[in-house]
Structure formats: structure tokens, C-alpha cells
Structure 1
């Protein structure tokens, strides 16, 4: 089978959707077997998991001559947050306040700045102006986690504020996020996956799909949909454009996922050790 998507993010998907619900630990042999279903070879799985370990997302332990991998605390927190956002049904409602995060990170710690930028985008912050990031969502917990993780409390100032102008909230949103582009991507997702959903629904009804095939399709679905976490800031309903497709995409995703979940889980459990 051709290899689809990069190995590391596929492993993240498997941890988020399966491994963390089965005691959070997996033998490397099982992981290799599962990823083989997506066309990843043993070498790339070992390389990816060792990279994740260096980055502090997973940790390994030896039992006899077998290596087992589990999510670290930051890894678990990231998976919790991701899964809350992936499986949410509707856009959150808004308390009317904005959160502002401003940092001045010295030049010699430039790598920290890049890391922080990636994390802020992932959490749904938008860049208002140089080093000033905003979000309407109550992300205080995530911000504190970031500050601890990178040990940057002396470089960061964090506010909760009301917007007094000079334009509208909508204008502020436009300045920080390209919702049109995100909406277009949701539209593509809906087009592609509503067709797949109908075909698979028919095949399942005819008993024409193996558990292994459901597992692959389910993981790839989550994997594709998970990409929206990196671009969609999960804005509250009040700040979204009228013809927003995010909620329709979420409904399609949930229906499709629930249809595949049971047989997919059966397959996972047959390989899991």
C-alpha cells in the first residue's frame, strides 16, 4: 500500500484516538504493525517515535527486551486539548472579552520565539501586530502551560480585555485570521468526504468492509480532519461569518467517525499489545 501522510503525525493520531484509551502504553512492535497498514515501514516508525521522544511527547520503558512507549504529561495534555476540539459539536459561546498575549523574547533565544509562535497558532491565537497575539477564547490554562513549558514568564505579559475600537470585532477577526480560506478548505473537506461517507455506508450495510479497512479509513479521516486544528482558531459563534461551514464539516466528521469506530476499534484491539 502507498504511504499516506507523515509517520510522526500518524502516530499522534493513533495515540489520540486509540492508545490513550487503552492505558496510554504501546509495544513498539504493535505500533509498527499498525502503521504498516498505512504503508509506513519499521525504520520510519522507529525514527519518528525517537524524534517524538526527543521532543518530549512520548517516553519509553524497557520490559525485558521489549520497548514500550507512552505519552508524557505534556503529550497527554496536548491530546486532551486536541480531542476536545476535534470532537466538539458546536462553536463555543463568547464572554465578550479578548485575551492578549505580548512577548519580548531576546534575539539569542530566537528558536523559542519560533516554537512559541507555532504553539500559539495551534491553540487558536491570531497575530494582531508584531509579538502581540489575541484570542476571544478562554485559553488561560493553555497559556500558563506554554509559559511553564518554555520557562518564559519573564518575557510574557498576558491580559484579558474588552475591545474599545477603533473598528468592529469583525474587522479585528479579519485582521488576524483568513476565515475565507479556512471556509474554502472546509468546503473541500465536505465535498470529498460526503461522497466517501455514502460509499462506505453502503459497503458496511452489505457487510463488504473488513475491520482493518475500517481502521485505516477511520484513522485517515481523523488525520485529515485534525489538520483544521492548525488553521481554524475555533472562534465563538458570534464572531463567525454567516455562511460558516465549520459546523457542517464537524457534523459530517462525527457521523462518519461513529460509523467506522466500532469495527476500527476491533481491529486495533486485535493488534494491540
Structure 2
């Protein structure tokens, strides 16, 4: 199975994994070299950086030696910090749900589309028009996102339990497309479990190989905790592949991340 990694996505993944450890701006020349190791050519790096600057993710700055570089904006840093809890953290176990109820005037329907798309990207499932639901542990990140997009005036958030009338597992299967989520986990395993099997027990891969393998695995994995927002295990099918996918990523992270950081420092 071929895998597509866009230059812009890889740059965001790089900043999440390694870019925040730089003292000061990341020089453009360093971005070109480091993304080149992942198969991205220099023109694609430069054009993607420009797009991320226009979107407010990166801000231009000068490195200590005067070279052109970029730093994360405050909003981007908050976005990555929220992502850390999802991508690397253990999902809190909770029986409570977070319910978002929103109403947007017709003359501002573009904000209605923005609300729906962002709630979906946060991992919410659709209960009914204007009513979306997610595990309660997403409350903080949801609040940050709505504040950043200036959408809080249109949304009310509630927290509580599911009281009926369908069994909760049946309701969850309506609110989320579990078959599509399972397929994403299986695709991650097809693409990246072979890399874990190829690592010899006790052997340490080369720094560039570790960096490239980890960056590509993380670029794929980081989307999954958003598509699959940490639904309670007892509400999912018995053969749920998300458990194995999470275990494979955790092992790749443990064995490759720090070795890849040596390549970045070099």
C-alpha cells in the first residue's frame, strides 16, 4: 500500500516532534535538509512553509547567526500542546460525554460549516443537526479550539451521562462510523508495523533511518487519535484494531524518537 505524505503535513509533524526543541527559530536551510531526509524536495519545503506562514502557523524570525528561519506562532504552539495529550498520552477513562449544541444564523452559515468541520476534526460524532458528542476528556481542547476560531458565541457545551434509550454501544455505532475508523487503524498497521518488525531486538538503527521512519509513522499516526477520539473500549467491537495500532506506535516512539533526535541535532 502506497502512503501519501504532503510536505505541509510533514512540516507540521516535524515541528510537533522535534522543532520545539530548537533554541530559537528553525533556519530554513535546516528545514530543507531535514525534510529532504524524508523525501521532500527544497521547492516543496519552501512553498509549504509560505502557506503555513499565511495560515498563521509559522512566523518569520532570524536565527542567532542571522539566517532566515521560522518560529511557531502562539496559536500553533497551543495546537501542538493539545495534540501532545492526544498523540502521546494515555486516554483518560470516563463514562461521561461532552455534548456541543450550536445554532448559527443563516446569514453566517459559513461559520456553521466551520463549526461542523472543526468538531468532526476534534473527533465529535453527530447525534442530530446542531448536536454533537465526544468523550468528556476532550472538553479542554474543544474550548481552546472554539476560542481560537472565535466560535464560542454559537456553542453551548454540556457534560453528563447517556441515559437512553438505545444501549450506549448501539448509539455510539450511529454517532461514529466505526468501520471507517477500524480501516484507518488497519491501514496504519499495514504501513508501519513492518518497520517495527524490522527492528532487531537490542539493535540501534542509524540516526537518519530512525528519524525518517519515526517522522513518517508519526505523520500517519497523529490523525488517528482525532478520528478515533478515545471511545470507551467496552463500547467498541471485540476485535477493535485500535489497541494494536496504539501499541505499535508506542513501541516505534520508544525505540526511534530519541535516536531520530540525534540526527536532527547533527
TM-score, length basis structure 2: 0.88
Measured in 2, the distance between the counterparts of 1:195 and 1:146 equals: 35
Give deviations 1:79-119, integer Å, cap 9, x for gaps. Answer: 11222212234x4211x322211212234433333333232
Give deviations 1:233-253, integer Å, cap 9, x for gaps. Answer: 221334333222212211111
Question: Is the CA contact 1:4–1:38 (under 8 Å) kept in the aligned structure 2?
Answer: no
Q: Does 1:178 align with 2:174?
A: no
Deviation at 1:222, TM superposition (A): 0.8
- Count of aligned positions: 264
Task: Show the counterpart of 2:260.
Answer: 264
Give deviations 1:49-99, integer Å, cap 9, x for gaps. Answer: 12212222221223575322111122112111222212234x4211x3222
Q: Does 1:127 align with 2:126?
A: yes
Measured in 2, the distance between the counterparts of 1:147 and 1:191 equals: 35
Deviation at 1:191, TM superposition (A): 4.0
Task: Show the counterpart of 1:165.
Answer: 164
Q: Does 1:246 align with 2:242?
A: yes
Deviation at 1:224, TM superposition (A): 1.5
Question: Is the CA contact 2:101–2:131 (under 8 Å) kept in the aligned structure 1?
Answer: yes
Give deviations 1:192-242, integer Å, cap 9, x for gaps. Answer: 43322122337x83x7x5321221111011112123134212213343332
Question: Is the CA contact 2:136–2:159 (under 8 Å) kept in the aligned structure 1?
Answer: no
Task: Show the counterpart of 1:217.
Answer: 213
Task: Show the counterpart of 2:58.
Answer: 58
Measured in 2, the distance between the counterparts of 1:68 and 1:93 equals: 41
Question: Is the CA contact 2:123–2:229 (under 8 Å) kept in the aligned structure 1?
Answer: yes
Task: Show the counterpart of 1:156.
Answer: 155
The verdict on how the C-alpha distance between 1:197 and 1:180 changes in structure 2, with shifts beyond 3 A counting, is same
Question: Is the CA contact 1:105–1:155 (under 8 Å) kept in the aligned structure 2?
Answer: yes
The verdict on how the C-alpha distance between 1:260 and 1:139 changes in structure 2, with shifts beyond 3 A counting, is closer
Measured in 2, the distance between the counterparts of 1:201 and 1:98 equals: 42
Task: Show the counterpart of 1:7.
Answer: 7
Give deviations 1:6-47, integer Å, cap 9, x for gaps. Answer: 111000110010011334631111111111122322222122
Q: Please identify runs of 4+ aligned residues in structure 1 that moved more than 4 A.
A: none
Deviation at 1:261, TM superposition (A): 2.3
Gaps of 5+ in 1: none
Please state whether the residue corresponding to 1:139 is helix, strand or coil: helix
After superposition, the CA RMSD in angstroms is 2.5
Task: Show the counterpart of 1:67.
Answer: 68
Give deviations 1:145-175, integer Å, cap 9, x for gaps. Answer: 2332222232222222332222111122111
